[in-house]
Structure 1
Amino acid sequence: MDRRDFLGVAALAPLALSAPPPNWARLRSRLAGTLVLPGDSGYPAARRVYNPAFDRVKPGGVAYCANAADVSACLAFARANGVPVTSRSGGHSYAGWSTGSGLVIDVSRMSSVAYADGRAVVGAGAKLIDVYDRLSRHGVSIPAGSCPTVGIAGLTLGGGIGVVSRKYGLTCDVLTSVRVVTADGRLLTCDARHHEGLYWSCRGGGGGNFGVAVSFTFRTHEAPGLTVFFLRWPWSRARAALREWQAWGPSAPDELWSSLHLGRSAGGLDVELVGTYAGRRSALDRLLAPLVARIGRPSSRSVRRASHLDAMKIMGGCASMSVSQCRRMPRATFSAKSHLAYRRLPADGVRALVDGVARGGRHSVLLDAMGGAIGRVGPAATAFPHRAAIFSAQYYTEGTNRRWLRGIHTEMSRYFGDHGYVNYIDPDLRNWRSAYYGDNAARLAEVKATYDPDRLFRLPHGV
């Protein structure tokens, strides 16, 4: 809070003391969905998000909205009563900003997935596993992420880096229109010809900034089977694996996506390469051969052909589960940070990253190849600016101690710079505007001023 905000709050303090409390019962009566309040039997479950680290947060109410009219009613309630408002789809915000102390607008009940004529219309509350499952029945899919319980809304609004993005682009790249309830309660359909600025912002500008998205229309692609692969090396090959992969992965054919994992767990240190290939195993073997020759023989290797849906389940860590079981993946306590790499690490950068992972603790670094179709879109064509990045870096640690994260992030900033991915939102970042949005930040601010001039939607890293 700066001095101007402080003085404004201080001036309003006497009015706030005399204002009547919000009439939650009245809001409940206006909803077709369900409003869950403290004291209700469903409240302990309603206030939980994916990461148990945020179980301490206790919203004033959680509204499970059934439709756009419910969202509009919630926003009117928030405006009239000065109640902070937060929107929630899958509840996976790395910083816990899918919840808050005021009203949580939960869109998870708006989860329909419909397909016709090459287009998919997806409710904002749909989880990725359900999107993949329902579209697979039509032999199509969209490029999206791997975690089965992530909500489609947050993923899309932040850009949407996924396991087939090198061939088909980001999730936001196949978004043809989005329906958004804005701060004033209007339901707007935004596309390339209507509310173009808001449509542009919804493709990489981050969730929770401009309104509450209630549905998305995507252009689909045919979804034949994929070849999935897992290769492991002993830790002694970690530097070689990182050095060679960063040259190989981002420059591979578009059909090949890969991720290099460097991790330290109770089982020790680990190097693993995972990926998907939109082609046959024989062709993949030829593409892997030069990489393996440079790194050395892997200690284990698994390559298999799978249906598109099964490949997404494999990448999501629920290969042996049913779709309904994937939907109920257990929660996990973690902390995370990110970088986006615009150039390869030099030898001392490779050494710094590998040595950083080797330090004590339970943590990992995931490097996801970019390039391909991602890089063939201009940095200003959508709000996602990092089109020239060659890979993303995610730093994860088990639990809530961020000491290792802060140390390795600071050290690797010497090599990666200050670029970050808004969907891996980081509460520690001070230069978050430039890190997330680069040169697109100014236009995003203009859109914010147009559609939310009174800043009803406020995040710590809010546009």
Structure 2
Amino acid sequence: MDRRDLLRAAAVAPLAAFASAPDWRALRRRLDGTLVLPADAGYAAARRLFNPAYDRIRPAGLAYCASAADVAACLAFARAGGIPVTARSGGHSYAGWSTGTGLVIDLSRMSSVRYAGGRATVGAGARLIDVYDRLASHGVSVPAGSCPTVGVGGLALGGGLGVVSRKHGLTCDALEAVRVVTADGRVLDCDASRHPDLFWACRGGGGGNFGVAVSFTFRTFATGRATVFFLHWPWAKAGAAVREWQTWAPSAPDELWSSLHLTRSAGGLDVEVVGTFLGGAAALDRALAPLVARLGRPARRWARTVSHLEAMKAMGGCGSRTTAECRRIPRTAFAARSHLAYRRLPADGIRALVEGVARGGRHSVLLDAMGGAIGRVAPAATAFPHRAALYSVQYYQEGMDRTWLRAIHADMSEYFGDHAYVNYIDPDLANWRSAYYGPNAARLAAVKAAYDPGRLFRLPQGV
């Protein structure tokens, strides 16, 4: 925080005078960024999230913050007026909790990506496609997710499962420092030696709990060519695909990440294994050989060796498009739930999963391989506890009817237990505290009490 930011942060103190009737014009004058109110022309667009199902939510105001001092001013305004406050990085919260009826702090203008000396300093509002694109010019990257318009802030704070995690770890594993604006307006630089408990909590404890993270410093890795692949089998192979994939994928070479998709769509039922291999086509064939030997040759196969950036685009569903086009992927109405698989499904569990997908509707189950570098970090080393999981499970439903989701999640809880991923935040989850955080929940509660004792940040499933 430079001298100018310190002076501007101090200047927010007079906002306490507006405890009874929030003066939005006073907040607007204090911001270098832009405050959008319901009467403003840009309000309809400003309040949109990625999921159009939440377009009905009408915030009292949305602040496009330009600096940490802007964020501090917004938090002082929210404290003084008793206004609910929500931080928004990319607007992809599965439950719509990156918006609300109070003040939304939008970080999308804090999106710089700077690289020096093996480190990337990234604004919390940067979208993943821009992080990948800007670091590609330096021949480096960070382990992150696949959806191109996800904000790096929410991803990193919740852990950050991604398509190179088996080789390079979670997004939070590459995190070396984070700048956080706390509920009382302080701007704290956190790392292993400065505010280490808050730093620990920011590595998997979930966004919106402890403060507003405004920038991250990541350790990068050098990129090379990668091979992306898409393999399809007929639905008759679905049970065998689950059985063989769950044995093979978590123990495959670290360079190989894969995801098994069981899908019911307008086109019918499909079994697909997609993935990224950090190497060439011949080495990929050798890595795939054990799966193919057990399951049989795929009915359709597509593989291509490309740059790391192009591989990330392909995994994000915008392969062969420009970066600008990847920023404009269509908004999608969906609902989702999750599990973390700590053990392989037995035969009756596989049957329940396959039959659940075959039920009417348009939906998918996505099994994403874990293991590798993810599992070589102790569960308590970061706030993300699920280091021993073999794979993550995402139940994805087109539209917002949660009937199928609730049924299949209940059926599969018998086999997967109560583990869930906080970045697939689930409003139906009753035991969310233990499901997301496991044995780390108590330490997270202590960090919350230390840095937000007044509970300014109040998610429905907030620590």
Aligned equivalent of 2:155: 155
1:183-198 aligned within 5 A: 183-198=183-198
Aligned equivalents of 2:95, 2:303: Cα separation in 1: 35
Unpaired segments ≥5 residues, structure 2:
1-17
AA paired with 1:37? L
Residue number in structure 1 paired with 2:83 = 83
Aligned to 2:60: 60
> Is 1:39 the equivalent of 2:36?
no
Counterpart for residue 229 of structure 1: 229
Secondary structure of the corresponding residue to residue 120 of structure 1: strand
1:277 aligns with 2:280: no
Distance in 2 separating the partners of 1:297 and 1:193: 52
Once the 2 structures are TM-superposed, how far is the Cα of residue 278 of structure 1 from its aligned partner? 1.0
CA–CA distance in structure 2, aligned partners of residues 169 and 314 of structure 1: 20
Instruction: Give the deviation of 1:19 after TM superposition.
Output: 6.8
Aligned twin of 1:402: 402
RMSD: 0.8
Structure 1 segment 85-124 matched on structure 2, within 5 A: 85-124=85-124
Mapping 1:167-206, distance limit 5 Å: 167-206=167-206
CA distance in 1, matches of 2:404, 2:216: 38
Partner of 2:3: none
Q: Which structure 1 residue ranges, 5 or more long, are not aligned?
A: 1-17
What corresponds to 1:294 in structure 2? 294
Distance (whole Å) between structure 2 residues aligned to residue 361 and residue 331 of structure 1: 20
Using the size of structure 1 for normalisation, the TM-score is 0.96
Q: Is the Cα–Cα contact under 8 Å of residues 52 and 332 in structure 1 kept in the other structure? A: yes
Q: Equivalents in 2 of 1:48, 1:320: separation in Å? A: 27
Deviations 1:165-190 (A, max 9, x none): 00000000000000000000000000
How far apart are 1:20 and its partner, in Å?
Answer: 3.6
Contact 1:237–1:296 (8 Å) recurs in 2: no
Residue 298 to residue 316, structure 1, CA distance change in 2 (3 Å)? same
Write the letter of the residue equivalent to 2:423: N
Asked whether the equivalents of residues 167 and 373 of structure 1 are also in contact (C-alpha less than 8 Å), the reply is yes
Which residue is equivalent to 2:457? Answer: 457
What displacement does 1:288 show?
1.1
Report the CA distance between 1:325 and its aligned residue: 0.8
- The CA distance in 2 between the partners of 1:278 and 1:110, in whole Å, is 31
Tell me, in whole angstroms, the C-alpha distance in 2 between the residues paired with 1:352 and 1:41. Answer: 50
Write the distance in 1 (CA, Å) between the matches of 2:245 and 2:387: 19
Alignment partners' CA distance in 2, 1:127 and 1:297: 37
Distance in 2 between residues matched to 1:63 and 1:201, nearest whole Å: 25
The AA in structure 1 aligned to 2:386 is: H
Q: Deviations over 1:1-35 (max 9, x none)?
A: xxxxxxxxxxxxxxxxx974210010001000000
- Paired amino acid for 1:55: D
Q: TM-score, normalised by structure 2?
A: 0.96
Q: How does 1:367-382 map to 2 (within 5 A)?
A: 367-382=367-382
Indicate conservation of the 8 Å contact 2:31/2:70, yes or no. yes
Q: Does 1:28 align with 2:28?
A: yes
Instruction: Write out aligned runs for 1:338-349 (5 A).
Output: 338-349=338-349
- Residues in 2 aligned to 1:316 and 1:152: alpha-carbon distance in whole angstroms: 14
Aligned twin of 1:12: none
Distance (whole Å) between structure 2 residues aligned to residue 248 and residue 384 of structure 1: 24
Q: Hey, what's the Cα distance between the residues in 1 that align with 2:355 and 2:132?
A: 38
Deviation readout 1:346-376 (Å, 9 max, x if unpaired): 0000110001000000000000000000000
Equivalent residue number for residue 140 of structure 2: 140
SS for the counterpart of 1:336 is: strand
How much has 1:290 moved relative to structure 2? 2.0
Following superposition, the deviation at residue 303 of structure 1 comes to 1.3
Runs of 4+ residues over 4 Å off in structure 1: none
Deviation track 1:32-66 (CA, whole Å, cap 9, x = no partner) reads: 00000001000000000010010000000000000
C-alpha contact (below 8 Å) 2:19/2:80 kept by paired residues: no
Mapping of residues 247-396 of structure 1, within 5 Å: 247-396=247-396
Hey, what's the Cα distance between the residues in 1 that align with 2:320 and 2:175? 31
Check whether the contact 1:227–1:280 (CA below 8 A) recurs between aligned residues.
yes
Given that residues 248 and 290 in structure 2 are in contact (C-alpha distance below 8 angstroms), is that contact kept between their aligned partners in structure 1?
no
CA distance in 2, matches of 1:275, 1:283: 14
Indicate the SS of the match to 2:290. helix
Q: Tell me by how many angstroms 1:236 deviates.
A: 0.5
Tell me the number of residue pairs that the alignment of Structure 1 and Structure 2 aligns.
446
Identical pairs, percent = 75
Contact 2:310–2:320 under 8 Å retained in 1:
no
